[in-house]
Copies of this chain bind each other. A is one copy, B any other.
């Protein structure tokens, strides 16, 4: 350190040692929170996001604010983490909001819904089109406040024992899938079932299931599904850019000093970009390994995609007719989506098109 700087900082330090401690003590209290996630530890992208968030908070507060992370089921079952936050059993959680559409379909929209926003559009909507505030009006009913904290990017359509060649192939198909998209596919004859990740492999092997969707190459590889259902369909039109959330109990949030609120928000945003970056860095190499191991990349036929879009729009209309809160959020989101894709196709998409077309030449 240069002498002049040393003198300057030393002076500051001296003055500081006699001052400002109680304000600091008040503004930087020691806090310990517990954060269950809805993900197993093996998902080092999603569960890893929770660890990244906790680390950022811990380090930014000089270890004063400690958030202990628990994997799915360690202290709270994976699909009850929102209830635990709502009831103040835990202070916060890390999850995908669409796991909670049983309470209200609106939970799907800031997370992922069929033919909705891609990853960057979801961020644009959340941070700069009032999405965070709009959703927090809704989350308030569940005694929570929430912030975007990760994104998977567009997911894959899943693993199928036989390829989907035409619409008729969907009739009677037993497919592992939950929630919103299950309702859409139900209109087209699919028998959608929700079974835990750990049971998918044997269900496909035995033939009690015809197909199953999970996430994308990096996460899917761990389940080994390519060994029992080798047709890997794309795109996952029900998950164009699935965003995960960091939820905090509202009373706990309100009791925090302002500095800690700011630390949590930046840590969540940091985690948001980190999770997407990790998926984007890991998926390409995982995809290569999967294809080398026998996975057969198979696009959904456009006729099937069109039928799914039509069915999805029916579900959106049905839900909007009976759920004003859902309608309010979806109307806002779909108008934004339509504007955004109009711009997207100009620079972003034509750039990607050219890069994809010329890639084989390096």
Residue A143 lies at the interface, judged by CB distance under 8 Å to chain B: no
Contact check, B284 vs A351: say whether CB atoms are below 8 A apart: no
Interface string of A245-285 (1 = CB under 8 A from B): 00000010001011101110111011011101111111111
Assess whether A10 is in contact with B17, with CB atoms less than 8 Å apart.
no
Between A and B, 9 residue pairs with Cβ closer than 8 Å are A19-B22, A20-B21, A60-B60, A240-B355, A284-B340, A299-B350, A309-B358, A341-B356, A344-B352
1/0 contact trace for A336-362 toward B, CB 8 Å?
111111111111111111111011001
Contact B343 A283 (CB under 8 A): yes
Complex Cα distance, B120 from A281, in Å, reads: 10
Known: A1-B15, A16-B23, A21-B21. 9 other contacts (CB 8 A): A28-B28, A118-B355, A120-B280, A127-B281, A235-B348, A269-B273, A284-B343, A344-B352, A349-B353
| Distance from A21 Cβ to chain B, minimum over Cβ atoms (Å) | 3
Q: In the complex, A336→B121 CA distance in Å? A: 24
Contacts of A296 in B (CB 8 A): none
A199 interface residue per 8 A CB criterion: no
9 smallest CB-CB distances across A and B, nearest first, come from A16-B21, A59-B262, A124-B280, A13-B19, A16-B22, A128-B281, A269-B270, A9-B19, A127-B277
Q: Which residue of B lies closest to A119 (CB)?
A: B120
